[in-house]
């Protein structure tokens, strides 16, 4: 029988109030990995109450010396590094990605705690001049109890991207992992106990979006929601947050442009472009899914991209030879296959379509092979909507003005990649593209020390670096009359 998991509430593992569970499956085989507690509103209420008590009662937050907060976060980072092999394996089993990628995720998750542990002792305010007769101190305080709702494409990393800055800021949290990939969040919960986090500081509730996520969003005891996921759910959450003016940070989708100019070093640009759309099975919010190529190098880049797609080895992420795993779920496979069907139907030219792995053990897996479409029209659904799968749409262009217009012709604004040897052209394009992250001669790096987040409908607010910390702080002005 598969392992059965509980909820982490107030430092203890507890059964869900309604006694219900759901299965999480290995997307490479469709086999059940574990049975996971299905939290409902009662469980969320218990978790929020515990987080509230830890925050208001002084177990965490302003009442705890910053050094002590930092020590606990460093301890958690050390435990994540100790267990990197086990956690990477768990991540691959639960979400499908190749083991090497999962290992990178876990190491970066550990670094996230180290980075923000350092920040815990460096949160300072300001003393703005307000004249000779008064002193005005602007201090930073934790926003309070935070509901953290994370997706399934980087389960542990996305969780830590929120948990680490929230705890460093002094907030207490209720973490709700995606129902498709709850296992590493539960492991993080176990490690948090070992690291000595006081009860209630980090609570983990597993369950579906509507049953466990929504009660967290609407709970009056929660001060802030930080969400990463689809645009539709982000919009819904923001509407719900309006009811009690809850603070909200949203990291949503994208339809990011990847622009290859004719003067680019194609030996870098082609594999970088391929990584941008095929990396992590294309299940990446910043995937470079619209690939714009200057006409004089169009055939070379398209040919190179098709070669890269052909070189992909699709299979179980646990197999060391595999470079692309299955999609996370049958539903996600259905969605992506739906977009591939639409691409064909609406007249995009199919430059390459791979094949599924034929190994019988993988027959029940949710595989979608890499696919490359060509089109001149940005009106096609595949050129407009986020697909979240390994489906590239390649479009030719003739000059800088045209390509920046096309790059910005989207409701999204998360990321963009620009490939050129001309530094002037790179900066001009970087300034013209309306996106929160612009890569020049690279694709997808997201250093935890920098900033991450979208323009337009890709989200609200920023994560990572000092910006990610700021998202969990409130400013308070203390005005003292001196005269």
List the catalytic residues. 251, 285
CB of 208 to ligand ADP, least distance (A): 6
209 binds ligand ADP (CB under 6 A): yes
Which of 94, 114, 214, 294 forms a contact with ligand ADP (CB under 6 A)?
214
- Which range in 229-237, 354-362, 456-464, 466-474 contacts ligand ADP by CB under 6 A? 229-237
Residues that bind ligand ADP (rule: CB under 6 A) add up to a total of 17
- Give residues 310-349 in contact with ligand ADP (rule: CB under 6 A): none
- Give residues 251-290 in contact with ligand ADP (rule: CB under 6 A): none
73 binds ligand ADP (CB under 6 A): no
Nearest CB to ligand ADP, comparing residues 165 and 177:
177
Nearest CB to ligand ADP, comparing residues 149 and 403:
149
- Which range in 176-184, 314-322, 418-426, 450-458 contacts ligand ADP by CB under 6 A? 176-184
280-317-271 Cα angle (round to 5): 40
CB of 431 to ligand ADP, least distance (A): 31
Nearest CB to ligand ADP, comparing residues 325 and 465:
325
Written in H, E and C, the secondary structure of the chain is CCEECCEEECCEEECCCCCCEEEEECCCCCCEEEEEECCCHHHHHHHHHHHHHHHHCCCCHHHCCHHHHHHHHHHHHHHHHHCHHHHHHHHHHHHCCCHHHHHHHHHHHHHHHHHHHHHHCCCCCECCCCCCCEEEEEEEEECCEEEEECCCCCHHHHHHHHHHHHHHHCCEEEEECCCCCCHHHHHHHHHHHHCCCCCCCEEECCCCHHHHHHHHHHCCCCCEEEEECCHHHHHHHHHHHHCCCCEEEEECCCCCEEEECCCCCHHHHHHHHHHHHHHHHHCCCCCCCEEEEEHHHHHHHHHHHHHHHHCCCECCCCCCCCCECCCCCHHHHHHHHHHHHHHHHCCCEEEEECCCCCCHHHCCCCCCCCEEEECCCCCCHHHHCCCCCCEEEEEEECCHHHHHHHHCCCCEECEEEEECCCHHHHHHHHHHCCCCEEEECCCCCCCCCCCECCEECCEECCECHHHHHHCCEEEEEEEEECC
CB of 225 to ligand ADP, least distance (A): 8
CB of 207 to ligand ADP, least distance (A): 8
236 binds ligand ADP (CB under 6 A): yes
- Give residues 141-170 in contact with ligand ADP (rule: CB under 6 A): 149-151
CB of 202 to ligand ADP, least distance (A): 16
- Which range in 5-13, 203-211, 270-278, 446-454 contacts ligand ADP by CB under 6 A? 203-211
213 binds ligand ADP (CB under 6 A): yes
- Which range in 127-135, 159-167, 211-219, 307-315 contacts ligand ADP by CB under 6 A? 211-219
Nearest CB to ligand ADP, comparing residues 165 and 209:
209
Nearest CB to ligand ADP, comparing residues 210 and 341:
210
Nearest CB to ligand ADP, comparing residues 151 and 189:
151
Nearest CB to ligand ADP, comparing residues 151 and 257:
151
Contact residues toward ligand ADP (CB under 6 A) are 149-151, 176, 178-179, 208-210, 213-214, 217, 229-230, 233, 236-237
């Amino acid at each position: 029988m598969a392992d059965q998991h509980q909820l982490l509430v107030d430092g203890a593992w507890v059964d869900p109030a309604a006694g219900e569970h759901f299965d999480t499956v290995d997307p490479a085989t469709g086999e059940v990995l574990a049975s996971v507690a299905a939290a409902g509103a009662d469980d969320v209420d218990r978790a929020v109450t515990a987080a509230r008590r830890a925050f208001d009662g002084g177990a965490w937050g302003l009442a705890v010396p910053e050094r002590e907060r930092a020590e606990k976060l460093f301890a958690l980072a050390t435990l994540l590094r100790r267990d990197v092999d086990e956690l990477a394996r768990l991540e691959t089993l639960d979400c499908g990605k190749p083991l090497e990628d999962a290992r990178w995720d876990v190491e970066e998750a550990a670094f996230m705690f180290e980075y923000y542990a350092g920040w815990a002792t460096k949160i300072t305010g300001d003393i703005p001049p307000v004249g000779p007769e008064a002193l005005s101190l602007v201090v930073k305080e934790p926003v309070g109890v935070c509901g953290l709702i994370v997706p399934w494409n980087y389960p542990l990393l996305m969780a830590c991207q929120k948990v680490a800055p929230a705890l460093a800021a002094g907030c207490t949290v209720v973490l709700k992992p995606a129902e498709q990939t709850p296992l590493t969040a539960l492991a993080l919960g176990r490690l948090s106990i070992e690291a000595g986090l006081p009860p209630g500081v980090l609570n983990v509730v597993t369950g579906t979006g509507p049953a466990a996520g929504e009660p967290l969003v609407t709970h009056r005891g929660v001060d802030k929601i930080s969400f990463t996921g689809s645009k539709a759910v982000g919009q819904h959450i923001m509407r719900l947050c309006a009811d009690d003016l809850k603070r909200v940070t949203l990291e949503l989708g994208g339809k990011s442009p990847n622009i290859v100019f004719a003067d680019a070093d194609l030996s870098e640009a082609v594999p970088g472009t391929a990584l941008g759309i095929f990396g992590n099975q294309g299940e990446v919010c910043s995937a470079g899914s619209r690939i714009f190529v200057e006409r004089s190098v169009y055939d070379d880049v398209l040919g190179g991209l098709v070669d890269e797609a052909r070189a992909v080895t699709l299979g179980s992420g646990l197999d060391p030879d595999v470079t692309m795993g299955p999609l996370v779920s049958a539903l996600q496979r259905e969605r992506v296959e739906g977009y591939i069907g639409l691409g064909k139907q609406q007249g995009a030219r199919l430059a390459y379509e791979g094949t599924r792995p034929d190994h019988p053990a993988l027959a029940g897996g949710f595989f979608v092979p890499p696919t490359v479409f060509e089109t001149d029209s940005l009106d096609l659904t595949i050129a407009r909507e986020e697909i979240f799968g390994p489906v590239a749409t390649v479009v030719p262009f003739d000059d800088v003005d045209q390509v920046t217009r096309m790059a910005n012709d989207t409701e999204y604004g998360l990321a963009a990649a620009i490939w050129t040897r001309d530094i002037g052209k790179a900066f001009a394009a970087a300034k013209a593209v309306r996106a929160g992250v612009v890569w020049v001669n690279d694709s997808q790096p997201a250093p935890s020390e920098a900033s991450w987040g979208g323009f337009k409908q890709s989200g609200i607010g920023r994560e990572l670096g000092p910006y990610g910390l700021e998202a969990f702080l409130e400013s308070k002005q203390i005005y003292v009359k001196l005269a």
